[in-house]
Amino acid sequence: MKKILITRRLLRENEDKASKIFKAELNLNDELYSQSKLLELSKDCDGILTSLTDKMDEQTINKLPETIKIISNFAVGFGNIDIEAAKKKGIAVTNTPDVLTDATAEIGVLLILGACRRASEGIENAKASNWKWSADYLIGKQLTGARLGILGMGRIGQKIAKISKSLGMIIHYHNRSKLSKEKEEGAIYHDNLKDLLSVSDVLSVCCPASKETVNMINKDTIEYLPKGAVVTNVARGDIVDDDALIDALDRRKIYAVGLDVYKNEPNLNPGYLKHKSAFILPHLGSSTKETRTAMANLAIDNMDEFFKTGNCKNKVN
Protein backbone atom coordinates (compact mmCIF):
# COMPACT_ATOMS: atom_id res chain seq x y z
CA MET A 1 0.00 0.00 0.00
CA LYS A 2 1.37 3.40 -1.03
CA LYS A 3 1.91 6.00 1.67
CA ILE A 4 0.77 9.57 1.09
CA LEU A 5 0.84 12.84 3.02
CA ILE A 6 -2.31 14.97 2.92
CA THR A 7 -1.21 18.45 3.93
CA ARG A 8 -4.60 19.99 4.88
CA ARG A 9 -7.83 18.75 6.38
CA LEU A 10 -10.31 17.36 3.86
CA LEU A 11 -13.99 16.61 4.30
CA ARG A 12 -14.50 13.43 6.31
CA GLU A 13 -15.75 11.32 3.42
CA ASN A 14 -12.69 12.27 1.36
CA GLU A 15 -10.30 11.38 4.17
CA ASP A 16 -12.10 8.04 4.58
CA LYS A 17 -11.70 7.36 0.86
CA ALA A 18 -7.99 8.20 0.93
CA SER A 19 -7.44 5.99 3.97
CA LYS A 20 -9.02 3.01 2.22
CA ILE A 21 -6.77 3.33 -0.83
CA PHE A 22 -3.51 4.48 0.78
CA LYS A 23 -1.70 4.62 4.06
CA ALA A 24 -2.72 8.24 4.48
CA GLU A 25 -1.04 10.66 6.88
CA LEU A 26 -3.85 13.09 7.72
CA ASN A 27 -3.68 16.63 9.07
CA LEU A 28 -6.51 16.36 11.61
CA ASN A 29 -5.80 19.77 13.15
CA ASP A 30 -5.65 21.45 9.72
CA GLU A 31 -2.30 22.94 10.64
CA LEU A 32 -0.55 25.07 8.02
CA TYR A 33 2.72 23.17 7.75
CA SER A 34 6.01 25.02 7.53
CA GLN A 35 8.34 23.97 4.73
CA SER A 36 10.56 22.13 7.20
CA LYS A 37 7.64 20.24 8.79
CA LEU A 38 6.24 19.30 5.39
CA LEU A 39 9.62 17.86 4.44
CA GLU A 40 9.83 15.98 7.74
CA LEU A 41 6.34 14.49 7.39
CA SER A 42 6.93 13.47 3.78
CA LYS A 43 9.72 11.05 4.71
CA ASP A 44 8.94 7.53 3.48
CA CYS A 45 5.91 8.83 1.56
CA ASP A 46 5.25 8.03 -2.09
CA GLY A 47 3.12 11.08 -2.80
CA ILE A 48 1.79 14.35 -1.38
CA LEU A 49 -1.72 15.75 -1.71
CA THR A 50 -1.15 19.49 -1.48
CA SER A 51 -3.37 22.56 -1.36
CA LEU A 52 -2.83 26.11 -2.62
CA THR A 53 -1.54 27.09 0.82
CA ASP A 54 1.50 24.83 0.34
CA LYS A 55 4.35 26.70 -1.35
CA MET A 56 6.17 23.96 -3.20
CA ASP A 57 8.99 26.08 -4.57
CA GLU A 58 12.20 24.82 -6.17
CA GLN A 59 14.08 24.68 -2.87
CA THR A 60 11.36 22.65 -1.16
CA ILE A 61 10.93 20.26 -4.09
CA ASN A 62 14.68 19.65 -4.33
CA LYS A 63 14.69 18.63 -0.66
CA LEU A 64 11.80 16.19 -0.97
CA PRO A 65 12.63 12.52 -0.30
CA GLU A 66 13.47 10.47 -3.38
CA THR A 67 10.44 8.31 -2.61
CA ILE A 68 8.04 11.10 -3.61
CA LYS A 69 6.81 10.47 -7.14
CA ILE A 70 3.67 12.62 -7.34
CA ILE A 71 2.30 15.89 -6.01
CA SER A 72 -1.49 15.95 -6.42
CA ASN A 73 -2.71 19.53 -6.03
CA PHE A 74 -6.15 20.10 -4.50
CA ALA A 75 -6.97 22.91 -6.96
CA VAL A 76 -7.42 23.60 -10.64
CA GLY A 77 -4.44 25.95 -10.46
CA PHE A 78 -0.89 24.95 -9.64
CA GLY A 79 0.89 28.27 -9.23
CA ASN A 80 1.99 27.16 -5.76
CA ILE A 81 4.17 24.44 -7.30
CA ASP A 82 7.38 24.88 -9.28
CA ILE A 83 6.41 22.64 -12.19
CA GLU A 84 9.84 22.58 -13.81
CA ALA A 85 11.62 21.74 -10.55
CA ALA A 86 9.22 18.84 -10.03
CA LYS A 87 9.77 17.62 -13.59
CA LYS A 88 13.56 17.70 -13.17
CA LYS A 89 13.24 15.62 -10.01
CA GLY A 90 10.96 13.14 -11.74
CA ILE A 91 7.86 14.11 -9.76
CA ALA A 92 4.49 14.20 -11.51
CA VAL A 93 2.18 17.12 -10.72
CA THR A 94 -1.60 16.88 -11.14
CA ASN A 95 -4.53 19.22 -10.65
CA THR A 96 -8.33 19.06 -10.39
CA PRO A 97 -9.88 20.64 -13.51
CA ASP A 98 -13.55 20.73 -14.53
CA VAL A 99 -15.09 19.88 -11.15
CA LEU A 100 -14.95 23.43 -9.76
CA THR A 101 -16.04 25.32 -12.89
CA ASP A 102 -19.66 25.93 -11.91
CA ALA A 103 -19.01 26.93 -8.29
CA THR A 104 -16.20 29.32 -9.21
CA ALA A 105 -18.19 30.88 -12.04
CA GLU A 106 -21.06 31.50 -9.63
CA ILE A 107 -18.70 33.47 -7.38
CA GLY A 108 -17.37 35.28 -10.46
CA VAL A 109 -20.88 36.49 -11.27
CA LEU A 110 -21.48 37.37 -7.61
CA LEU A 111 -18.38 39.60 -7.72
CA ILE A 112 -19.71 41.39 -10.80
CA LEU A 113 -23.11 41.93 -9.21
CA GLY A 114 -21.72 42.84 -5.80
CA ALA A 115 -19.28 45.41 -7.16
CA CYS A 116 -21.65 46.96 -9.70
CA ARG A 117 -24.63 47.18 -7.34
CA ARG A 118 -22.66 48.44 -4.30
CA ALA A 119 -23.47 45.39 -2.18
CA SER A 120 -20.82 46.07 0.50
CA GLU A 121 -22.26 49.51 1.22
CA GLY A 122 -25.79 48.17 1.22
CA ILE A 123 -24.95 45.40 3.69
CA GLU A 124 -23.21 47.85 6.04
CA ASN A 125 -26.15 50.25 5.97
CA ALA A 126 -28.72 47.51 6.46
CA LYS A 127 -26.87 46.13 9.49
CA ALA A 128 -26.51 49.62 10.96
CA SER A 129 -30.22 50.37 10.40
CA ASN A 130 -29.27 53.86 9.28
CA TRP A 131 -30.49 53.95 5.70
CA LYS A 132 -33.34 55.93 4.23
CA TRP A 133 -34.73 55.38 0.75
CA SER A 134 -34.41 58.16 -1.79
CA ALA A 135 -34.38 58.31 -5.58
CA ASP A 136 -30.58 58.52 -5.64
CA TYR A 137 -29.78 56.17 -2.74
CA LEU A 138 -26.88 53.79 -3.53
CA ILE A 139 -27.21 54.17 -7.28
CA GLY A 140 -25.10 51.49 -8.92
CA LYS A 141 -24.22 50.24 -12.37
CA GLN A 142 -26.76 48.17 -14.29
CA LEU A 143 -25.49 45.01 -15.96
CA THR A 144 -27.99 44.99 -18.81
CA GLY A 145 -26.28 46.48 -21.86
CA ALA A 146 -22.87 46.75 -20.17
CA ARG A 147 -19.78 45.31 -21.87
CA LEU A 148 -18.14 42.47 -19.94
CA GLY A 149 -14.49 41.82 -20.76
CA ILE A 150 -13.33 38.33 -19.83
CA LEU A 151 -9.59 37.87 -19.47
CA GLY A 152 -9.07 34.15 -19.96
CA MET A 153 -11.90 32.33 -21.72
CA GLY A 154 -11.34 28.86 -20.29
CA ARG A 155 -14.01 26.73 -18.64
CA ILE A 156 -14.71 29.24 -15.87
CA GLY A 157 -14.60 32.24 -18.21
CA GLN A 158 -17.03 30.56 -20.60
CA LYS A 159 -19.47 29.79 -17.78
CA ILE A 160 -19.30 33.37 -16.48
CA ALA A 161 -19.91 34.56 -20.05
CA LYS A 162 -22.97 32.34 -20.40
CA ILE A 163 -24.55 33.53 -17.14
CA SER A 164 -23.66 37.19 -17.76
CA LYS A 165 -25.07 37.04 -21.28
CA SER A 166 -28.38 35.90 -19.79
CA LEU A 167 -28.29 39.05 -17.66
CA GLY A 168 -28.05 41.17 -20.80
CA MET A 169 -24.32 41.84 -20.84
CA ILE A 170 -22.34 42.08 -24.09
CA ILE A 171 -19.42 39.66 -23.91
CA HIS A 172 -15.87 40.43 -25.08
CA TYR A 173 -12.83 38.28 -24.35
CA HIS A 174 -9.08 37.89 -24.73
CA ASN A 175 -7.54 34.45 -24.76
CA ARG A 176 -4.33 32.85 -25.97
CA SER A 177 -6.33 31.65 -28.94
CA LYS A 178 -9.72 32.35 -30.48
CA LEU A 179 -12.47 29.94 -29.52
CA SER A 180 -14.68 28.11 -31.97
CA LYS A 181 -17.96 29.84 -32.82
CA GLU A 182 -19.78 27.15 -30.87
CA LYS A 183 -17.84 27.95 -27.68
CA GLU A 184 -17.87 31.71 -28.25
CA GLU A 185 -21.67 31.83 -28.29
CA GLY A 186 -21.55 35.32 -29.80
CA ALA A 187 -18.70 36.68 -27.66
CA ILE A 188 -16.34 39.12 -29.39
CA TYR A 189 -12.66 38.10 -29.54
CA HIS A 190 -9.75 40.52 -29.02
CA ASP A 191 -6.26 39.32 -29.89
CA ASN A 192 -4.52 41.66 -27.43
CA LEU A 193 -5.05 42.85 -23.88
CA LYS A 194 -5.22 46.56 -24.69
CA ASP A 195 -8.15 46.12 -27.07
CA LEU A 196 -10.07 44.01 -24.56
CA LEU A 197 -9.58 46.44 -21.69
CA SER A 198 -10.57 49.44 -23.79
CA VAL A 199 -14.09 48.02 -24.26
CA SER A 200 -14.55 46.56 -20.77
CA ASP A 201 -17.13 48.36 -18.67
CA VAL A 202 -16.63 45.41 -16.35
CA LEU A 203 -13.50 43.24 -16.38
CA SER A 204 -13.57 39.66 -15.11
CA VAL A 205 -10.09 38.20 -14.56
CA CYS A 206 -10.29 34.43 -15.15
CA CYS A 207 -6.88 33.52 -16.60
CA PRO A 208 -4.47 31.03 -15.00
CA ALA A 209 -1.60 32.27 -12.85
CA SER A 210 1.75 32.00 -14.63
CA LYS A 211 4.98 33.93 -15.06
CA GLU A 212 3.36 35.68 -18.03
CA THR A 213 0.24 36.77 -16.13
CA VAL A 214 1.83 38.06 -12.89
CA ASN A 215 0.73 41.70 -12.44
CA MET A 216 -0.94 41.67 -15.87
CA ILE A 217 -3.44 44.16 -14.46
CA ASN A 218 -1.06 46.92 -13.41
CA LYS A 219 -0.57 50.70 -13.39
CA ASP A 220 -0.12 50.83 -17.17
CA THR A 221 -2.80 48.38 -18.29
CA ILE A 222 -5.44 49.83 -15.97
CA GLU A 223 -5.24 53.04 -18.00
CA TYR A 224 -6.66 51.19 -21.02
CA LEU A 225 -9.96 50.67 -19.17
CA PRO A 226 -12.80 53.15 -19.65
CA LYS A 227 -13.11 55.64 -16.80
CA GLY A 228 -15.47 54.24 -14.19
CA ALA A 229 -14.90 50.60 -15.10
CA VAL A 230 -15.33 47.77 -12.59
CA VAL A 231 -12.56 45.19 -12.06
CA THR A 232 -13.24 41.71 -10.67
CA ASN A 233 -10.89 38.80 -10.05
CA VAL A 234 -11.91 35.18 -9.52
CA ALA A 235 -8.62 33.67 -10.72
CA ARG A 236 -5.45 34.30 -8.69
CA GLY A 237 -4.26 37.28 -6.68
CA ASP A 238 -0.88 37.44 -8.41
CA ILE A 239 -2.50 38.57 -11.65
CA VAL A 240 -3.51 41.96 -10.22
CA ASP A 241 -1.19 44.62 -8.80
CA ASP A 242 -3.14 45.60 -5.68
CA ASP A 243 -1.34 48.90 -5.20
CA ALA A 244 -2.13 49.94 -8.77
CA LEU A 245 -5.78 48.93 -8.40
CA ILE A 246 -6.11 50.84 -5.11
CA ASP A 247 -4.52 53.88 -6.73
CA ALA A 248 -7.07 53.65 -9.53
CA LEU A 249 -9.86 53.58 -6.93
CA ASP A 250 -8.30 56.59 -5.20
CA ARG A 251 -8.27 58.50 -8.51
CA ARG A 252 -11.78 57.28 -9.41
CA LYS A 253 -10.41 55.78 -12.59
CA ILE A 254 -12.04 52.58 -11.31
CA TYR A 255 -15.60 52.69 -10.00
CA ALA A 256 -15.47 49.51 -7.92
CA VAL A 257 -13.67 46.20 -7.48
CA GLY A 258 -14.91 42.69 -6.75
CA LEU A 259 -12.23 40.30 -5.49
CA ASP A 260 -12.36 36.71 -4.35
CA VAL A 261 -8.57 36.45 -4.53
CA TYR A 262 -5.73 38.84 -3.77
CA LYS A 263 -2.03 38.86 -3.00
CA ASN A 264 -0.77 37.60 0.38
CA GLU A 265 -4.02 35.91 1.34
CA PRO A 266 -5.47 36.09 3.95
CA ASN A 267 -3.76 39.45 4.58
CA LEU A 268 -5.75 42.04 2.66
CA ASN A 269 -3.95 45.16 1.47
CA PRO A 270 -5.26 47.84 3.90
CA GLY A 271 -5.69 50.25 1.01
CA TYR A 272 -8.88 48.42 0.03
CA LEU A 273 -10.43 49.17 3.43
CA LYS A 274 -10.64 52.86 2.55
CA HIS A 275 -13.09 52.12 -0.23
CA LYS A 276 -16.73 51.21 0.36
CA SER A 277 -16.85 50.22 -3.30
CA ALA A 278 -14.52 47.27 -2.66
CA PHE A 279 -16.57 44.06 -2.59
CA ILE A 280 -14.17 41.42 -1.27
CA LEU A 281 -14.65 37.74 -0.39
CA PRO A 282 -12.29 35.26 1.36
CA HIS A 283 -11.48 32.97 -1.61
CA LEU A 284 -14.86 31.24 -1.79
CA GLY A 285 -14.63 30.21 -5.45
CA SER A 286 -14.91 26.45 -5.02
CA SER A 287 -16.52 26.57 -1.59
CA THR A 288 -19.53 24.32 -1.91
CA LYS A 289 -19.76 20.87 -0.38
CA GLU A 290 -20.40 19.28 -3.76
CA THR A 291 -17.38 20.94 -5.36
CA ARG A 292 -14.92 20.45 -2.51
CA THR A 293 -15.91 16.79 -2.29
CA ALA A 294 -15.43 16.32 -6.03
CA MET A 295 -12.09 18.16 -5.97
CA ALA A 296 -10.68 16.02 -3.18
CA ASN A 297 -11.96 12.82 -4.78
CA LEU A 298 -10.29 13.78 -8.04
CA ALA A 299 -7.00 14.62 -6.28
CA ILE A 300 -7.11 11.17 -4.65
CA ASP A 301 -8.06 9.47 -7.92
CA ASN A 302 -5.19 11.24 -9.69
CA MET A 303 -2.73 9.63 -7.28
CA ASP A 304 -4.40 6.24 -7.54
CA GLU A 305 -4.31 6.36 -11.35
CA PHE A 306 -0.67 7.43 -11.35
CA PHE A 307 0.46 4.67 -8.98
CA LYS A 308 -1.45 2.05 -10.99
CA THR A 309 -0.46 3.16 -14.50
CA GLY A 310 2.56 5.45 -14.15
CA ASN A 311 0.59 8.28 -15.74
CA CYS A 312 -2.49 10.43 -15.15
CA LYS A 313 -4.85 12.32 -17.47
CA ASN A 314 -4.65 15.37 -15.18
CA LYS A 315 -0.86 15.48 -15.15
CA VAL A 316 0.32 19.07 -15.83
CA ASN A 317 4.06 18.49 -16.27
In the residue annotation, 176 being an active-site residue is answered as no
Distance CA 20, CA 203 (A): 45
Distance CA 163, CA 292 (A): 22
Q: pLDDT tens-digit profile of 56-84?
A: 999 999 999 999 999 999 999 898 999 99
Q: pLDDT tens-digit profile of 20-31?
A: 999 999 999 999
pLDDT of residue 209: 83
Q: pLDDT tens-digit profile of 84-114?
A: 999 999 999 999 999 999 999 999 999 999 9
The distance of Cα 59 from the centroid of its chain, to the nearest Å, equals 24
Catalytic residue among 174, 236, 292, 305: 236
Catalytic residue among 9, 121, 265, 275: 265
Distance CA 277, CA 34 (A): 36
Q: What are phi and psi of 304, to 5 degrees?
A: -60, -45
pLDDT of residue 210: 85
pLDDT of residue 269: 98
Residues 6 or more apart whose CB falls under 8 angstroms from that of 302 comprise 70, 72, 94, 96, 312, 314, 315
pLDDT of residue 211: 86
**pLDDT over 90 percentage in the chain:** 97
Q: pLDDT tens-digit profile of 182-213?
A: 999 999 999 999 999 999 999 999 998 888 99
In the residue annotation, 13 being an active-site residue is answered as no
User: Can you give the C-alpha Rg of the chain in angstroms?
Assistant: 21
Q: Which of 105, 52, 41 is nearest to 77 (CA)?
A: 52
In the residue annotation, 265 being an active-site residue is answered as yes
Catalytic residue among 283, 290, 292, 305: 283
> pTM value?
0.92
The distance of Cα 14 from the centroid of its chain, to the nearest Å, equals 22
Burial of 148 from C-beta contacts in 10 A (0-12 / 13-18 / 19+): buried
Q: Please, which pLDDT band fits residue 279 given cuts at 50, 70 and 90? A: very high
Region of 76 on the Ramachandran plot (φ > 0 left; ψ -120 to 50 alpha; else beta): alpha
pLDDT of residue 200: 98
**pLDDT over 70 percentage in the chain:** 100
Structural domains of the chain, ranges and CATH numbers in brackets? 3-99+288-309 (3.40.50.720), 101-280 (3.40.50.720)
CA distances from 201 to 158, 188, 226, 286 (A): 18, 14, 7, 26
